[in-house]
A and B are shown apart, each in its own frame.
Chain A
Amino acid sequence: MLTVILQQGINGVVVGSLYVLVALGLTLIYGVLVQINFAHADIVTLGAFAAYFVTHLLSGNYFAGIAVALVVGGILGWLVNATIFLPLRERGSELLPLIATIGVSIMLQNAMLILLGPIPYAFNTPYSSQVIRFSGIFLTVQNVLIIVVSALTIALLYAFMKFTFLGKALRAVSQDRETAGLMGINPNYVIMLTFVIASALAGMSGAMLGPVLVLTPFAGTTVIVKAFAIVIIGGFGNVEGTIIAGLLVGLIESYTTQFLDPGLIDIVVFALLLLTLAVRPTGLVAEKREENV
């Protein structure tokens, strides 16, 4: 029994840390812009496909795949910001950019559907078949890789936000864009940078989710709805809250699969989301931003 709980706990952390990477991107963008990028989902999917093709072309070099996915994600993020969010910023509408990115998402999904087809791709990395085993718990090298890379990325991001000038500028813009502008920070540059970082994270998490998920053009959508839930449960725009909530959702998922029914995963996660909204709309870790609640 204990081994089952431990085993599912590890599985939960693996999936949860990938959710954290996707959700962190959403949170960062929300922090500086107070906007939601719905096309984030398709950046995840495109990252997964980029990694898939690179890995299979370069005869199994998975790390090259992750790197390419990172770059592809960053470029897409820059594009989404330049074509959608930047032109719409002057209009100051809260909902128009969200609706426009839903349009982008429909477009990208159907474009991928035409090019790649609806049949799931089998993304096998050289590491998914190597199993480490200790006292009854199974762990693939792929899982270890996911946990290590996610933890490293989160730590790097945290250090970047806390200690570098650009990271401080980013936090300054998310607290007060106008005052940050007066202090000599170019908000447009910071927002662009945030999009690139957030989307590179999405591309990279796609590369690591690819072998775990059912890889179809719609893979990102199933992840993103959970990432939205995570971002709200953790408190929008809040990095620590997002990390906690992401791991929590990962654990809920694996324990629901084990003890209840795999079909109930989304119901449990979104019931938690609605409960959070009803009871504590500021999320687990409250930030001083209350205009939406």
Chain B
Amino acid sequence: MLSFGIPMLSSRRFWFVMAAIVIGLLPLVFTDSYWQTNLIVCAINVLLAVGLDFVLGYAGQLNLGQSAFYGIGAYTSTLLIMNLGTPFWIAFVCGVLLSGFAGMLLSIFAVRLRGHYLAIASLGFAVITYQILLNWISLTQGPLGIYAIAPPPPLGIPGLPAIEFSNLANLFYLTAGFALCTYILLDQLVRSPIGETLTAIREDEVSAASLGINCQRWKVFAFAVSSAVAGAAGCFYASFVGTLVPDAFFITESFTILAMVIVGGMGTLIGPVLGAILLTVLPEVLRGIGDLRLIVYGVSVTLVVLFMPGGMVQAGRLIFGRLHRRAISAEAGSAP
């Protein structure tokens, strides 16, 4: 972490508090519904990106099936609410659990396959899930989609007025707050021995196994966590957009999430956050240029892989490292 010699700046707690303050201020700065909508999309994308990064950047498993887990979370929670009248938060937990379970199902293949085989197996899983959503019309209404999905129910805290989530700012607080909590949890996880274990598996599976690491169990774990996070993002997406169509969970969505992780910098947790924000906001800023904005994803991924594989995090380190060195040499020069 870059601290510039100031101890407070290297404290994680300080940065988490700063992030919470920024999240609190954002809807106050961007008051129009257009930008508040984008803020919520940002928060959902951040969730998706850190989820994918956990399995890709830390455990080193290229999972192209993230769109499937996103879709499973969205459809599970929505169908439970619409068909069975399940309360939102119970449906949310069910969606997250089922996505996590689906991730474990896919990891049955991951424990036997590596690299390209896993990439294609997960892609196949995403295609199957998409086709099921599209063709199981009696359940999902297929391409017609599900409409009029209610936002999360108001949250009543005794002694305070209920928090309505039909209000975009409040919905942003909910999703971004959840994303921040997820980030903090994953941050604890990757800095714990579990993180070290996953990194060992990423670097060299055979050596990791020879150190007594049960690679299969940890891969299943990484897949389950990653897909559960994507499932949570799906639940928020459904209640935020209000309509569900299978096309939102086509395999290209997996590529979009992958682009965010790569552009931000995989193998770090802050990278995917930056990548998700950049790739959500930049196309909106470029909207004036028309359809050209979608090319941004492709161009940025290709250029990042070719010239800066560490993504925005690597670029940031380079720039700050240079500034830091300049500051030190300036100090040394002015000293008598």
Which residues B115-167 have CB closer than 8 A to chain A? 115-117, 119-121, 123-125, 127-128, 131-132, 134-135
Q: How far is the CB of A226 from chain B (nearest CB, A)?
A: 9
A110 touches B291 (CB 8 A): yes
1/0 per position for B169-205, CB-CB distance to A under 8 A?
0000000000000000000000000000000000000
Task: Determine the chain B residues whose CB is within 8 A of the CB of A261 once the complex forms.
Answer: 135
Task: Determine the chain B residues whose CB is within 8 A of the CB of A96 once the complex forms.
Answer: 305, 309
Any chain A CB within 8 A of the CB of B221?
no
Q: Which residue in chain B gives the minimum CB-CB distance to A109?
A: B298
B119 touches A277 (CB 8 A): no
Cα distance A88–B308 in the bound complex, in angstroms:
12
Any chain A CB within 8 A of the CB of B258?
yes
Task: Determine the chain B residues whose CB is within 8 A of the CB of A102 once the complex forms.
Answer: 255, 258-259, 301
A106 touches B305 (CB 8 A): no
Known: A102-B255, A110-B291, A292-B117. A225 touches B127 (CB 8 A): yes
A99 touches B301 (CB 8 A): yes
Task: Determine the chain A residues whose CB is within 8 A of the CB of B131 once the complex forms.
Answer: 263-264, 266-267, 270
Q: Is the interface of A mostly helix, strand, loop or mixed?
A: helix
Interface pick from A70-78, A152-160, A207-215, A228-236: A228-236
Which residues B223-251 have CB closer than 8 A to chain A? 251
Interface pick from B106-114, B314-322, B325-333: B106-114
Task: Determine the chain B residues whose CB is within 8 A of the CB of A228 once the complex forms.
Answer: 120, 123-124
Q: How far is the CB of B207 from chain A (nearest CB, A)?
A: 15
Q: Which residue in chain B gives the minimum CB-CB distance to A87?
A: B306
B306 touches A106 (CB 8 A): no
How many A-B contacts at CB < 8 Å in the complex?
143
Known: A277-B117, A281-B113. A111 touches B295 (CB 8 A): yes
Cα distance A232–B120 in the bound complex, in angstroms:
8
Task: Determine the chain A residues whose CB is within 8 A of the CB of B124 once the complex forms.
Answer: 225, 228-229, 270, 273-274
A98 touches B62 (CB 8 A): yes
Q: Which residue in chain B gives the minimum CB-CB distance to A278?
A: B109
A267 touches B116 (CB 8 A): no
Known: A99-B305, A105-B298. A274 touches B109 (CB 8 A): yes
B109 touches A114 (CB 8 A): no
- Residues of B within 8 Å of A, CB-based: how many? 42
Any chain B CB within 8 A of the CB of A285?
no
Cα distance A274–B125 in the bound complex, in angstroms:
8
B134 touches A107 (CB 8 A): no
Task: Determine the chain A residues whose CB is within 8 A of the CB of B294 once the complex forms.
Answer: 106, 110, 113
B120 touches A95 (CB 8 A): no
Per a CB cutoff under 8 Å, which of A95, A103, A266, A270 touches B115?
A: A95
Per a CB cutoff under 8 Å, which of B62, B127, B259, B295 touches A266?
A: B127
Known: A100-B305, A274-B121. 16 other contacts (CB 8 A): A83-B306, A88-B306, A98-B116, A98-B119, A99-B301, A103-B298, A103-B302, A110-B291, A110-B297, A225-B123, A225-B127, A228-B123, A263-B135, A267-B131, A274-B109, A292-B117
The 6 A-B pairs at the shortest CB distance, nearest first, are namely A107-B298, A103-B301, A106-B298, A103-B302, A263-B135, A100-B305
Q: What are 20 A-to-B residue pairs whose CB atoms are below 8 Å? A: A36-B120, A97-B305, A103-B301, A103-B302, A106-B255, A106-B295, A107-B299, A113-B294, A114-B291, A236-B116, A236-B117, A261-B135, A266-B128, A273-B120, A274-B124, A278-B112, A281-B113, A292-B113, A292-B115, A292-B116
Residues on A facing B (Cβ under 8 Å): 30, 34-36, 83-84, 87-88, 91, 93-100, 102-111, 113-114, 221, 225, 228-229, 232, 236, 261, 263-264, 266-267, 270-271, 273-274, 277-278, 281, 291-293
